[in-house]
Amino acid sequence: MIISRSFYTRSDVLQIAKDLLGKVLVSSIGGITTSGIIVETEAYRAPDDRACHAYQNKRTERTETMFKLGGIAYVYICYGIHHLFNVVTGEDGMAHAVLIRAVEPLEGKSVMKSRRKITQIIPSLTNGPGKFTEAMSITKDHNAVELFNAQSIIHIRDMSISVDHNEILTGPRVGMGNIGESALRPWRFRVKNNKWTSKPDIVKYEANYE
């Protein structure tokens, strides 16, 4: 069943990032339904998180979506090519979001294959934040879509797929640059032994932070 708005408006974005594992992301683009089990997430939390676009509560046209009441999508273009999908969480005025980094394909696998221009059902179909959005035809046009509304072309369901807390691997987020302490925060969560998650943990040996 559809996940209600109250799931998203909770204040702890780290908890929501973990709770989203096992939930099912659904897109119905052009009458074609695709869906996937969320198997990897990352939390982003303004104002103190330098990795967050809304670091120090910086409001711009782009970040405005993140400040809204939880339960909507935040989709933006990365490197000019990839559309990255986030779930906005928390109260109105709090810029918190969960990046979905990978899903396990459920419905519409053949459509996903053609969109990704590959011929087999293999992890590279959806095991990255820019990959599953392509497979599910999610673009920045879907920014601010209501995910708690079953009529929305993108929404999230609870299909009673349980992920025990000891099945969740935790580690630093992917793609952090020179952002000091924020890069070390273990705010990436993924399902242990699930082959549909993205690249392995990044190990940082450098300990010279500002």
Partner DNA sequence: AAGAGGATGAACT
Partner DNA sequence: GTTCATCCTCTTG
Based on the shown chain and the rule CB under 7 A, indicate whether residue 89 belongs to the binding site for DNA: no
SS3 132: helix
68: phi then psi, degrees, rounded to nearest 5: -75, 165
Based on the shown chain and the rule CB under 7 A, indicate whether residue 84 belongs to the binding site for DNA: yes
Taking contact as CB under 7 A, which single stretch among the options 12-20, 22-30, 78-86, 182-190 is the one that binds DNA?
78-86
* Selected binder of DNA within 177, 203, 205, 207 (CB under 7 A): 177
* Selected binder of DNA within 1, 30, 31, 60 (CB under 7 A): 60
* Selected binder of DNA within 9, 27, 35, 63 (CB under 7 A): 63
* Selected binder of DNA within 18, 23, 131, 190 (CB under 7 A): 131
Which residues here bind DNA, judged by CB under 7 A?
Answer: 42, 44, 51-53, 58, 60-63, 66, 74, 76-82, 84, 86, 97, 99, 116, 124, 128-131, 140, 173-177, 198
